[in-house]
Amino acid sequence: METVQIDLGERSYPIVISQNVMDLRQTWASLPKSAAALIVTNDVVAPLYLARLKQILSQQYAQVHEVVLPDGEAHKDWQTLNLIFDGLLSNGCDRKTVLFALGGGVVGDMTGFAAASYMRGVPFVQVPTTLLSQVDSSVGGKTAINHPLGKNMIGAFYQPQLVVCDLATLDTLPQRELSAGLGEIIKYGPIADMQFFDWLEQNIDGLLRRDRALLAHAVKRSVEIKAWVVGQDEKEAGLRAILNFGHTFGHAIEAGMGYGNWLHGEGVAAGMVMAAELSRRLGMVDEHFVLRLRTLIERAGLPVRGAIIDAKDNAGRYLELMRVDKKSEAGEIRFVLIDRAGQAVMRSAPDALVREVIDCCCA
C-alpha cells in the first residue's frame, strides 16, 4: 500500500493507492465516527462496486445509505445534485454523516459539492474508480457542477477526509476512459517533471495494456505532483493554475460540443496540443517539443486536433467560451503555457494569434 499525503495543516489527508484496498477494514479506520454513511455512485459503477463498498462500510456505520445517479457529464447539473440532497434529507442524515463518492470525476465533483453545502459542511471521502479521477479530480478539493455556458463554474473548494485509489477498479474501465485518464497523466510531464514524461514515452504501450505495476507508478507520481502543487496553493491563487494545462481549450471543446460528447481527458489532450502550439508561436518552446507531446498523446489513443464547434466562426466561438473560463481576468483569457519543458506559466496572448492556433489545430 502506497500513501501520499496532502499537506494542508488541519485539513491534511492521505491518498491511499493499492490493489483491492477498498476491501480492507483498516483503510477506513481513521474516518470520523458517525451513525450513518451515504454512498453516492452512478448507474454504471453501482453494479460493479456498490455492494462491495457497502459491505465493508457496514462494519463501521450502523446505517449505510445510497444514492445512484445517472452516468455522464451531461448530468453534472443542479437537477442531479439535488438527488444527493434528497437522499440526505429523506434518510435524516445529520452533520456527522460521512459521504462517499464512488465513481469517476463527475460523481466525485458532485458529491464533494453536496458535502460542502449540506448543513454547511459534512465530511466526505473520495473513492475514485476511473484513472482520470484517481490522478486528478479526486485530489485537491475542487468540487463543482457545470453550467451550460461553462464547465465547473459553480462549486467550492472543499477537501475530503481521505482518498482511496483502488487500482483493481481500473480492470473494468472501458479503453476510451483509460485513454482519457492518460491525458491527465501526460500533462504532469510538461508542467513539472520531464523525467516522468520520458518514462511515459517509454511505457505508454504497457499502460494501455493495463500493466498493474506501471499503472501504480503512474498514479503515484501524478498524485505526488498534484499534492505538491495543492500543498502550496490550495485555492488556485497562483501556482495551482498550472494543473490546468490544456484545460482552457479543452473546456471550450466540452462546452461547445455539448457535455459528454468529448470525454474530459480527450478535451484536455487536444487542448494540450493547442496550448503547446501557442507556446511555440510565442517563442517559448521549439517545434520538437510540440511534436513529442503530440506524438505521445496520439500513442495514448487520444485526439490531437480540436473540434469544429462552430462552422461559421470556429475560432470566434472558442474565444467566446474561453472568456468564461475561471482563469480569465476582466475578459482577458489567460492560458497555461509551457515556458520551457517541465515548467509552466500563466500568460495571455493576442486574440489574433489564438485564432491562428485554433484554425491550424482543429479538424
Domain boundary among 138, 172, 206: 172
Say if residue 100 is in the same domain as residue 153: yes
288: its cell numbers: 520538437
**Cβ neighbours around 294 below 10 Å, total:** 19
Say if residue 207 is in the same domain as residue 141: no
137 DSSP 8-state letter: I
**Residue 344 near residue 190, CB atoms below 8 Å:** yes
- How far apart are alpha carbons 23 and 346 in whole angstroms? 42
Say if residue 117 is in the same domain as residue 186: no
200: domain CATH number is: 1.20.1090.10
Mind telling me the catalytic residues?
A: 120, 142, 184, 226, 236, 240, 244, 247, 251, 264
237 DSSP 8-state letter: S
Tens digit of pLDDT per residue, the chain (363 long)? 899 999 999 999 999 999 999 999 999 999 989 999 999 999 999 999 999 999 999 999 999 999 999 999 999 999 999 999 999 999 999 999 999 999 999 999 999 999 999 999 999 999 999 999 999 999 999 999 999 888 899 999 999 999 999 999 999 999 999 999 999 999 999 999 999 999 999 999 999 999 999 999 999 999 999 999 999 989 888 899 999 999 999 999 999 999 999 999 999 999 999 999 999 999 999 999 999 999 999 999 999 999 999 999 999 999 999 998 878 877 899 999 999 999 999 999 999 999 999 999 997
Helix (H) or strand (E) holding 214: helix 212-232
**Residue 30 near residue 164, CB atoms below 8 Å:** no
Number of domains in the chain: 2
Say if residue 166 is in the same domain as residue 210: no
Domain boundary among 143, 172, 201: 172
Range of the domain at 52: 2-172
Say if residue 278 is in the same domain as residue 229: yes
**Cβ neighbours around 301 below 10 Å, total:** 17
Say if residue 28 is in the same domain as residue 80: yes
pTM: 0.94
Say if residue 182 is in the same domain as residue 156: no
Q: Cell numbers 445529520 correspond to what residue?
A: 94
Say if residue 104 is in the same domain as residue 221: no
Say if residue 94 is in the same domain as residue 225: no
The closest alpha carbon to 358, from 327, 292, 314, 310, belongs to 314
Angstrom distances, CA of residue 329 to CA of 153, 242, 272, 323, 356:
14, 16, 21, 8, 22
Please, what's the b/e burial string for 242-276 (b: 16 or more CB within 10 A of its CB; e: otherwise)?
bbbbbbbbbbbbbbbbebeebbbbbbbbbbbbbbb
- How far apart are alpha carbons 141 and 32 in whole angstroms? 18
Say if residue 58 is in the same domain as residue 102: yes
Say if residue 166 is in the same domain as residue 229: no
111: domain CATH number is: 3.40.50.1970
Domain boundary among 112, 140, 172: 172
SS3 327: coil
Say if residue 237 is in the same domain as residue 153: no
